[in-house]
């Protein structure tokens, strides 16, 4: 007898029923007229889909990225995908079976989901198999990407993970501009004495200022020179971000108290980019394993320099950086100053000329790497600013729509080149902070001479070095979120011009030239009072002389000095001049004194 709740299904195509169930569970049953059965198969995915949509619609790309790296999320996706596969297969087979039952003689009567169905024709079975195969392809793809995400995040978030791919490439092999060669590898000492005890750093509490070390590593030739060292400091209360960058040629960095200071002394005399390899196997100096100890050593020595606690690190090797940029489809960078380098290494000992014009430039990974690493024809300040500009441009331009088509390539590049000790469970909160940061408002500090460091072009035993002015660097770090960023930017722009300024005492006031030179150094200029006798004595005003076209190459310095002393510069051509700018003080020269060191 016909059920009052369900009309008798009509004879329909089994393939059509299966195909409709492929599109969505229950559609095939509705096509057959089995409406109650259709509702039973359709309701769970509709409810689950609505729940997930309600959750994900509230998340932005940063929230989604933070969620995607969680182990529980990866596991949940695998389980949901498996259950969905089984549910859809059951709906397809059930709709096909009912249609076959009707086709072989079922007419009326209640559908119980059981009972013998006549032997299916080979063509009908093939149709069912084809539908199931098409359905399975999507779930296999999801499972594959889920496993890819699992292996990629394991390589990134576990510094001791094994079996991860390597991004190290042969320099120049691609024909693209290659990276600079590494400095000759220095011997890596082994541990002597008792290993230091392991120390567990308390996780970030979400309210204190957070400091994360970004490392750019050059691993060519089997070395591990940490040529780029940027500490990103985040104030969660105000969503302010500052970036502190220390040039690779910095020496005499203070060593933290403990066994390391007993070995190296109060300062590390070698260049800071070799600190990692000199300590990564020294279990008697720093806690950790051979895979993590070098990072702990870097966090410790930079924390000592800046007088802050550095919680976590993120490292990208330069070859991997190139692959990541390519995987993202390139990066657009606003090149503010043209890059000219007539001696950029092209691999195999050859050199090539590099020219990158100013303006908006779309760059490949190789081009972005050249832009970030070119050393000749520019200052360390300019180089550091370029590296930070690349990072901020990538942060600003990365979006889900651009990433998805290149997910395989990006996952491989990330797994091969990125390492961090940031806890996975903390990443959503950190990315949430990142989403609230306005990129143009990020404060940038590059600790270069003359204001933050003292430059020596050719020291007898160490070659080119720069030595930190600890009081000024530490004051900049301490006051990063309270100092007017315009003052800091002006100071660093003056330092980038690198004008050599002499102050000569023409007024006879004792110590006047030295005080003014110290004040100009405070502003960011490379100023000194050499003690020479000027050719003008007891003049009424300050005399400002600019030599050999410095007004065109150092315009900000000249303009600042003209405004400071209220005079117009005299432009002089003199091939024997040893300074770019000479200031001769006079009776009306203002009294300028640098503020006391903090």
Positive or negative torsion for Cα 371, 374, 377, 379: positive
Other CB atoms within 10 Å distance of the CB of residue 118? 11
Could you tell me the domains of the chain?
Answer: 14-157 (no CATH), 498-584 (3.30.70.2390)
Q: In this predicted structure, what is the pLDDT of residue 442? A: 83
**Where residue 500 falls among pLDDT bands split at 50, 70, 90?**
very high
Q: Are 419 and 289 a contacting pair, CB within 8 Å?
A: no
CA dihedral 316, 467, 296, 71 (to 10 degrees): -30
Smallest CA-to-CA distance from 85 within 163, 123, 138, 12 is with 138
Q: Which of 149-158, 393-402, 430-439, 561-570 has the lowest mean pLDDT?
A: 393-402
Residue 108 has pLDDT above 50, yes or no: no
Buried b / exposed e over 39-64, threshold 16 CB at 10 Å, is: eebbeebeeeeeeeeeeeeeeeebbe
Buried b / exposed e over 322-334, threshold 16 CB at 10 Å, is: bbbbbbbbbbebe
444 to 144, 382, 395, 521, 538: CA distances (angstroms): 41, 12, 15, 19, 42
Buried b / exposed e over 278-313, threshold 16 CB at 10 Å, is: bbbebbbbbbbeeebbbbbbbbbbbbbbbebebbbb
Q: In this predicted structure, what is the pLDDT of residue 2? A: 45
Residue 301 has pLDDT above 60, yes or no: yes
Higher pLDDT, 48 or 194: 48
Q: Are 77 and 142 a contacting pair, CB within 8 Å?
A: yes
Kind of pairing, strands 210-218 and 312-317? parallel
Q: In this predicted structure, what is the pLDDT of residue 401? A: 60
Residues 213-222, mean pLDDT to the nearest whole number: 81
Q: What percent of the chain has pLDDT over 70?
A: 85
Residue 493 has pLDDT above 60, yes or no: yes
CA 374 to chain centre: 19
Kind of pairing, strands 240-246 and 453-459? unpaired
Other CB atoms within 10 Å distance of the CB of residue 356? 19
Residues 391-416, mean pLDDT to the nearest whole number: 74
Residue 170 has pLDDT above 60, yes or no: no
Higher pLDDT, 386 or 547: 547
3 state SS of 200: coil
Higher pLDDT, 520 or 498: 520
d(CA 272, CA 302): 9
pTM for this one?
0.74
Q: What's the first-to-final CA gap in the chain, in angstroms?
A: 96
Smallest CA-to-CA distance from 502 within 513, 492, 493, 490 is with 513
Nearest 5°: phi and psi at 298? -65, -45
Which H or E element spans position 432? Answer: helix 427-435
Residue 110 has pLDDT above 60, yes or no: no
From the CA atom positions of the chain, what is the Rg in Å?
Answer: 33
> Is the backbone peptide bond immediately before 450 cis, with ω within 30 degrees of 0?
yes
Residue 353 has pLDDT above 60, yes or no: yes
* DSSP bridge partners of 233: 211, 242
SS (H, E, C) 343-400: EEEEECCEEEEEEECCEEEEECHHHHHHHHHCCCCCCHHHHHHHHHHHHHHHHHHCCH
Residues 471-500, mean pLDDT to the nearest whole number: 85
Q: In this predicted structure, what is the pLDDT of residue 187? A: 60
**Where residue 113 falls among pLDDT bands split at 50, 70, 90?**
very low
Other CB atoms within 10 Å distance of the CB of residue 348? 11
Residues 448-463, mean pLDDT to the nearest whole number: 86
Residue 5 has pLDDT above 60, yes or no: no
Record the tokens describing residue 376, joined without a space.
């000749």
Smallest CA-to-CA distance from 194 within 242, 114, 276, 259 is with 259
Residue 115 has pLDDT above 60, yes or no: no
Higher pLDDT, 405 or 237: 237
């Amino acid at each position: 007898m016909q059920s009052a709740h369900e009309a008798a299904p009509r004879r329909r195509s089994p393939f059509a029923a299966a195909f409709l169930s492929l599109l969505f569970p229950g559609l095939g049953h509705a096509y057959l007229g089995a409406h109650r059965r259709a509702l039973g198969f359709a309701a769970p995915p509709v409810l689950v889909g609505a729940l997930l949509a309600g959750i994900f619609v509230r998340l932005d790309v940063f929230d989604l990225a933070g969620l995607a790296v969680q182990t529980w999320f990866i596991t949940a996706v695998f389980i949901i995908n498996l259950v969905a596969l089984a549910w859809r297969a059951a709906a397809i087979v059930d709709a096909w079976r009912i249609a076959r039952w009707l086709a072989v003689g079922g007419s009326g009567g209640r559908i119980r989901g059981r009972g013998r169905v006549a032997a299916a024709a080979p063509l009908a079975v093939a149709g069912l198999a084809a539908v199931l195969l098409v359905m399975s392809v999507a779930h296999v793809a999801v499972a594959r990407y889920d496993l890819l995400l699992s292996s990629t995040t394991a390589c990134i978030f576990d510094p001791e993970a094994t079996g991860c791919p390597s991004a190290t490439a042969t320099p120049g092999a691609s024909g693209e501009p290659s990276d600079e060669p590494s400095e000759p590898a220095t011997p890596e000492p082994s541990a002597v004495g008792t290993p230091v005890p392991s120390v567990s750093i308390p996780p970030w509490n979400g309210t204190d200022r957070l400091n994360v070390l970004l490392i750019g590593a050059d691993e060519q030739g089997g070395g591990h020179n940490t040529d780029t060292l940027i500490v990103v400091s985040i104030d969660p209360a105000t969503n302010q971000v500052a970036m502190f960058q220390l040039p690779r040629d910095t020496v005499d960095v203070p060593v933290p108290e403990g066994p390391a200071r007993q070995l190296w002394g109060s300062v590390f005399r070698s260049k800071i980019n070799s600190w990692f390899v000199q300590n990564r196997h020294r279990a008697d100096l720093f806690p950790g394993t051979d895979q993590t100890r070098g990072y702990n050593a870097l966090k410790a020595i930079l924390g000592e320099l800046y007088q802050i606690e550095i919680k976590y690190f993120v490292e990208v090797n330069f070859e991997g950086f190139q692959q990541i940029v390519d995987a993202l489809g390139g990066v657009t960078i606003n090149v503010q100053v043209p890059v000219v380098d007539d001696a950029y290494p092209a691999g195999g000992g050859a050199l090539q000329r590099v020219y990158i014009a100013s303006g908006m430039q779309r760059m490949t990974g190789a081009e972005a790497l050249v832009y970030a690493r070119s050393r000749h024809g520019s200052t360390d300040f300019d180089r550091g600013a370029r590296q930070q500009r690349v990072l901020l441009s990538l942060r600003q331009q990365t979006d889900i729509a651009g990433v998805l088509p290149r997910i395989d390539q990006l996952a491989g590049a990330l797994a091969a080149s990125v390492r961090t000790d940031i806890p996975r469970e903390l990443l959503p909160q950190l990315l949430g902070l990142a989403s609230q940061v306005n990129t143009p408002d990020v404060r940038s500090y590059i600790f270069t001479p003359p204001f933050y460091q003292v430059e020596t072009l050719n020291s007898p035993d160490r070659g080119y070095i720069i030595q930190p002015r600890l009081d000024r660097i530490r004051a900049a770090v301490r006051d990063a979120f309270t100092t007017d960023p315009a003052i800091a930017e002006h100071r660093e722009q003056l330092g980038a011009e690198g004008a050599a300024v002499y102050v000569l005492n023409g007024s006879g006031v004792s110590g006047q030239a030295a005080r003014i030179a110290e004040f100009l150094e405070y502003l960011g200029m490379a100023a000194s009072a050499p003690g020479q006798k000027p050719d003008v004595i007891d003049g009424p005003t300050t005399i400002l002389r600019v030599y050999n076209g410095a007004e065109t190459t150092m315009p900000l310095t000249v303009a600042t000095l003209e405004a400071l002393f209220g005079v117009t510069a005299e432009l002089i051509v003199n091939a024997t001049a040893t300074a770019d700018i000479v200031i001769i003080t006079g009776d009306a020269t203002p009294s300028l004194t640098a503020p006391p060191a903090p």
